[in-house]
Structure 1
Amino acid sequence: MVPSLTLTPAAEKFVRRILRFSGLPATAGFRLVVSAGGCSGFNSEFSAEAAPQPGESVLEVGEGLRLFLPAESRLLLDGVTMDFVDTPTKSGLAFIDPKQAPCACSSSGDVAATPPGVARIDVGSIGRGRPATLTH
């Protein structure tokens, strides 16, 4: 089953940038691993990969954009919209799930600013492949 996942133009641009700067061939894809959990209903990890892993489905989005999705991710992402949010205080992927109930926990200082069913992945957590260099 391939989910009916919608990417906003901002999310598509973000994914294409990750792939373009990965150094992988044009046939590479964006592996998106989503599991249930977290305040918003999603825990997510992503990476640029040369090919899908065994058991992953390939979802073609737009012109030549490939998403590699494991089985659990496919089930959870059905009907979800993936967006990229860039504000002065947050930057990352957001998953909007119309089936998800709003979060009522108070573990975040900006719960009111977070739409229901949204998970965020900070861009700062993406490694660039080189360790930081200290200069004195």
Structure 2
Amino acid sequence: MAVTLTEKAASEVKRRMDDQKMEEAMMLRVAVTGGGCSGFSYALAFDSNFSDADDSKYECHGVPVVVDKKSALFLDGTTVDFQDDLQGYGFRFENPNAVKSCGCGSSFQA
């Protein structure tokens, strides 16, 4: 499994899906894109498209998660958490493949 959501992250994803009244077929797409101050950036989006040839699909705490196969190479073993406290607010990525990360934690080098 390339990416794992913590219970807190899954709860936040479900809350956002409910708030936006998304259809049942909607999934959380986790991806890596080029860019950011360290070379690669993390991307989270809601998506209803899935390709057996290009994507992997699984479920974490009741949330359907999709990762394209290219991103999976960089995300294998990554945990996505959600933080809502004095230290910050938002999704946080713990990626064992990252050799360097930027200060804000939104981009990395692998």
TM-score (norm 1): 0.60
Q: Distance in 2 between matches of 1:101 and 1:56?
A: 25
Amino acid at match of 1:91: Y
RCO higher in structure (CA 8 A, sep ≥6):
2
- Deviation string, structure 1 residues 65-93 (Cα, Å, up to 9, x no partner): 10121122211110111111223463211
CA distance 1:57–1:51, change in 2 (3 Å):
same
Greater share of residues in strand? 2
* Cα distance in structure 2, aligned partners of 1:87 and 1:81: 19
Alignment: residue pair count: 106
The corresponding residue for 1:52 is 50
- Whole-angstrom CA distance in 2 between matches of 1:52 and 1:20: 21
Alignment-mate amino acid for residue 71 of structure 2 = S
Q: CA RMSD in A?
A: 2.8
CA distance 1:95–1:74, shift in 2 (3 Å): same
- 2:21 is paired with a residue whose SS is coil
Percent identical among aligned pairs is 27
> Which residue is 1:93 aligned to?
91
| Cα distance in 1 for residues equivalent to 2:30 and 2:69 | 11
Give CA deviations for 1:17-49 in whole Å, capped at 9, x if unaligned: 222223222232112222355356641222222
CA distance, structure 1, for counterparts of residue 25 and residue 12 of structure 2: 17
User: 1:21 maps to which residue?
Assistant: 19
Partner of 1:127: none
Return the match for 2:4 from 3, 6, 16: 6
Task: Describe how 1:1-136 pairs up with structure 2 within 5 A.
Answer: 2-3=1-2, 5-35=3-33, 37-39=35-37, 42-53=40-51, 55-63=54-62, 65-88=63-86, 90-103=88-101, 111=103, 118-119=105-106
Larger radius of gyration: 1
Q: After TM superposition, give the deviation of residue 10 of structure 1 in Å.
A: 1.5
- 5+ residue gaps, structure 2, are none
SS at match of 1:51: coil
